[in-house]
Amino acid sequence: MKYIRRYWNILTNIGTHPDISYVNLKRIQMVNLIAILCLLPTLCFFVLNIMDKRYLLSAINLSNAICSITVLFLQYDGKHNFAKAMLLISNFIFFFLGAMLFKNGGEYFLLCALIASMLLYDDRRIHIVFCLATACSIALLYFLPPLIPLSQRVPRLRLIFNISNALAFIVIAVNSFLQIIYNNMEKIEEQRRKLESMNRDKEKIFSIVAHDIKSPLASLEALVLMLRDQVLDNTISREYIQQLYQQIVLQNQALDDFLHWGTSSMRGITNPAVLVMVKPLIQEIISLFADQIQAKQLRIEIDIPESTEIFANRDHTAIIFRNLISNAIKFSYVAGKISIYCSTKGSHTHIHIQDEGVGINPSKSAMLFNVAQHKSFGTEAEPGSGLGLVLCKDLIERNKGIVDIQSIPHKGSIFSVGLPSFPTRNQPAKKEAQTVS
């Protein structure tokens, strides 16, 4: 059965290629299917009619079989329009001759040819031509007197067989066409949802750009003008240079967030999930904020075992923790403490980032990860990006993770990120065995 299915797929896909559209693919497959279904019975009836001494009908059957084989060769050669035309015209002629000469129920196959022409062609003129030809042919069959003796006509059992096959073809063809319509509707609906999601992301990004890029650039412009005045006065202040540096770093971080989110939102792009050592990554991120930590006299406590590993995209993980640690620093009071620790629950490793800062009102905390926030300022007026937490949630979900927040106003917050634990050692993990879309 496996080999039969394999060869059947090969035959029905003759002439197809990966770049062909879905509708044309189905039409090519339909032509192949009709040609194959016509080939086998006509060869059988060719033999039976020779045995019954119906030589004219056997010649018609053989001609029909030869045309079906020719259609398959035309399909293989990529001449799909010729194949369609030959299939429909030859079958129409041979079925009409069989019905007129031998009363074998061929008029029902004429209806099949009409339905096939409507499914294989978009041109309504072709539909009208086949409709008129079918109507005229059936009228001739009923009004013309018999052309051969009654003894030469096919048995009643074969007539019933032909009528049953014709009806079965009509049912299969209509259902196949309906399936094509349903599949197209599903694809259109899926594309509509993707476009809506992309439009929402675009609106979020433009909203954030309007608030979080324009204003800091204006601040940079003012700082540069002040620094220029100091250069002219020969009194350059280290404080202005440090502020310029901090503004540029924050702007680069915001732009990096925008670019990564835009990339992660593009469909069809996959990012490999790999082994990520959590503690070295956290230490690397904290070193980026050394100046801000020192300026606010913060204490950073990391309670994560060296062996803690997760299975996620490393770039995504770095963006997630960088944003959460940046927020913890920004909203911590001077001389406060930030604790970073981990726990394991089920198949996820949870990284907790706890600060002793301003906290968040419960009514607002539920919206942090779902709606892009307007520009916010930390306890020392540090500017931030309203995109950060929305981006974090998006990337966490793409890595099959979960996120949670617990916060008490004026006492601090705990952001918890759960990401898949790395597979156990007795299950060899391929570093690119999983992809994050």
pLDDT digits (tens, 9 = 90+) for 349-362: 999 999 988 888 77
Please report the pLDDT score of residue 280 as a whole number.
Answer: 93
What pLDDT is stored for residue 379 in this prediction?
Answer: 66
| pLDDT-based confidence at residue 348 (cuts at 50, 70, 90) | very high
Least reliable range by pLDDT among 22-36, 207-221, 291-305: 207-221
Query: Would you state the structure tokens that stand for residue 386, as one six-digit string?
Result: 């309203």
Flag the least confident range among 55-59, 157-161, 213-217, 372-376: 372-376
Q: Is residue 365 exposed (0-12), middle (13-18) or buried (19+ Cβ within 10 Å)?
A: middle
The 3-state DSSP class for residue 426 equals coil
Domain covering 269-436 assigned CATH 3.30.565.10 in the classification: yes
Least-confidence region, from 31-40, 191-200, 305-314: 191-200
pLDDT tens by residue, 280-327: 999 988 887 887 888 889 999 999 999 999 999 888 888 889 889 988
> Checking phi first, is residue 410 left (phi over 0); if not, alpha (psi -120 to 50) or beta?
left
pLDDT for 382: 58
Encoded amino acid at 178, one letter: L
169 neighbors 110 (Cβ within 8 angstroms): no
Residue that wins the pLDDT comparison between 205 and 141: 141
Q: For residue 154, what pLDDT is reported?
A: 75
Q: How far, CA to CA in Å, does 301 sit from each of 185, 290, 354, 376, 382?
A: 55, 14, 10, 25, 22
For the chain, what are the domain ranges? Answer: 2-191, 269-436
pLDDT at 165 over 50: yes
357 bridge partner residues: 332
Give 329-384 as a 3 state SS string: HHCECCCCEEEEEEEEECCEEEEEEEECECCCCHHHHCCCCCCCCCCCECCCCCEC
Calculated CA dihedral for residues 148, 149, 151, 156, nearest 10 degrees? 60
Q: CA-to-CA distance for 195 and 274, rounded, in angstroms?
A: 30
Q: What is the pTM of this model?
A: 0.48
What's the pLDDT tens digit per position in 74-105?
A: 999 989 999 999 999 998 998 888 888 888 77
- Residues 374-419 have pLDDT tens digits of 456 566 555 554 456 777 888 898 899 999 888 888 888 999 999 9
Segment among 32-46, 77-91, 188-202 with least mean pLDDT:
188-202
The whole-number pLDDT of residue 340 equals 95
Distance (Å) of CA 333 to CA 35, 301, 353, 389, 436: 79, 16, 15, 20, 37
Contact 416, 361 (CB under 8 A): no
